Amino acid sequence: MRAVGLAVVLGAFGASCFDGADALGLPCLTDQDCGQGQRCEQGVCGGPPATATSDASTSTSSDPSSSSSSGSTTDESTGPPAGCGNGLVEAELGEDCDPGSAADEPTCDADCSMVECGDGHLNLMSGEECDDGNGAMLDDCTPECRTTLFWDDMEDDPADTMRWLPPEIPEYEDPDGMVFQLDDGWQWNVPTEPGTWTSGPYSDSSGTARLITRVIDFPPDPGPGFRYELRLRHRLRFDGNPQDLGPCDAQTTDGGVVWIMEGDVLRPAGPPPDYPDAIEDSFCAADMTGPDNPLYDAMTPRPAYSSITMPAFIDTGFPLPPDVAGSSVRLVFEIGYDCRNCWTTAPLGAGWTIDEVVVAPFQPPG
**CA dist 32 to 1, 45, 68, 262, Å?**
19, 10, 27, 67
Which pLDDT score is estimated for 259?
Answer: 96
Residue 253: inside a domain: yes
Q: Are residues 332 and 201 part of one domain? A: yes
Residue 6: inside a domain: yes
The answer, as to whether pTM is greater than 0.85, is no
Q: Are residues 125 and 27 part of one domain? A: no
Q: Are residues 342 and 274 part of one domain? A: yes
Q: Are residues 275 and 169 part of one domain? A: yes
Q: Are residues 113 and 53 part of one domain? A: no
> What is the C-alpha separation between 362 and 366, in angstroms, rounded?
12
Q: Are residues 273 and 159 part of one domain? A: yes
Residue 208: inside a domain: yes
Domain end among 31, 55, 74: 74
The single-letter code of the amino acid at 251 is Q
Q: Are residues 299 and 196 part of one domain? A: yes
Q: Are residues 173 and 25 part of one domain? A: no
Tens digit of each residue's pLDDT (9 = 90 or more) over 1-31: 334 344 333 343 444 455 667 777 788 888 7
Number of domains in the chain: 3
Domain end among 137, 160, 182: 137
Q: Are residues 222 and 296 part of one domain? A: yes
Residue 142: inside a domain: no
Which pLDDT score is estimated for 83?
Answer: 84
Q: Are residues 234 and 172 part of one domain? A: yes
Residue 201: inside a domain: yes
Other C-beta atoms within 10 Å of 198: how many?
Answer: 24
The single-letter code of the amino acid at 118 is G
Q: Are residues 202 and 84 part of one domain? A: no
Q: Where would I find the beta strands (DSSP E) of 220-338? A: 227-237, 255-262, 265-270, 314-319, 328-337
Domain end among 56, 74, 92: 74
> What is the C-alpha separation between 227 and 144, in angstroms, rounded?
12
Helix (H) or strand (E) holding 13: helix 2-13
Q: Are residues 129 and 37 part of one domain? A: no
Tens digit of each residue's pLDDT (9 = 90 or more) over 271-306: 888 888 888 887 665 555 567 888 988 888 888 888
Measured distance between the N- and C-terminal CA atoms of the chain, rounded to whole angstroms:
73
- Domain with 45, as residue range(s), is 2-74
Residue 143: inside a domain: no
Residue 95: inside a domain: yes
Residues of the chain with confidence (pLDDT) below 50: 1-16, 51-76
> What is the C-alpha separation between 107 and 126, in angstroms, rounded?
6
Query: What CATH number is associated with residue 217?
Result: 2.60.120.200
> What is the C-alpha separation between 28 and 366, in angstroms, rounded?
61
Which pLDDT score is estimated for 15?
Answer: 43
